[in-house]
Amino acid sequence: MSQQSRDDQDALIDALAQTAFVVTAVLGRIGLEHDLSLTQLRMLGVLRDRRLRMSGLASFLGLEKSTLSGLVDRACARGLVERSADPDDRRAVIVALSARGAELAAEVFAEVSEQLLPLLAALGPAEQSRLRALLAGLLASP
């Protein structure tokens, strides 16, 4: 039993797309309050746990290296990230959060949690666990 009709699947896909838009909108709004585009926000998020070369960061974000040059330029000018030389390869440039960038990233991502939490409050604790497990399954699928 419990067959999935075409309509059921469509409804799920719709729900997923809408959820994506809602979450993205929250990220965008919080970013805006700190003068950060979604891309800058993602960059800060990626750099929270890592130091990367320009090329590595570009492929992480799915951007061309020329795009990243501009992105890093602007973040650098604002003192959020820093470029440094790679001692192993003099062509390469390492990008890392500055102290101020790390501080801002922590602040922003705390706000994100804060603003998504009320959304989650619509679900009970058991349901939250269940949702977490389901999304984990989804994300693991490659």
Contact 111, 30 (CB under 8 A): yes
In Å, how far from its chain's centre is CA 44? 8
Residue 24 within binding range of DNA, rule CB under 7 A: no
Q: Choosing among its own copies, DNA, none, which partner's interface includes residue 18 (Cβ < 5 to 8 Å by kind)?
A: its own copies
Instruction: Find the binder of DNA among 34, 45, 51, 53 (CB under 7 A).
Output: 53
> Which lies closer to DNA via its Cβ, residue 71 or residue 112?
71
Contact 63, 78 (CB under 8 A): no
Site for DNA in 68-97 (CB under 7 A): 68-74, 83, 86, 89-94
Cα→Cα distances 117→20, 121, 134, Å: 16, 6, 18
Query: Which residues are at the interface with its own copies (CB under 8 A)?
Result: 2-4, 8-13, 15-25, 27, 42, 62, 112-113, 116-123, 125-132, 134-142
- DSSP code of 58? H
Residue 33 within binding range of DNA, rule CB under 7 A: no
Phi-psi region of 89 (alpha: psi -120 to 50; beta: other; left: phi over 0): beta
Stretch that binds DNA, among 11-19, 65-73, 106-114, 122-130 (CB under 7 A): 65-73
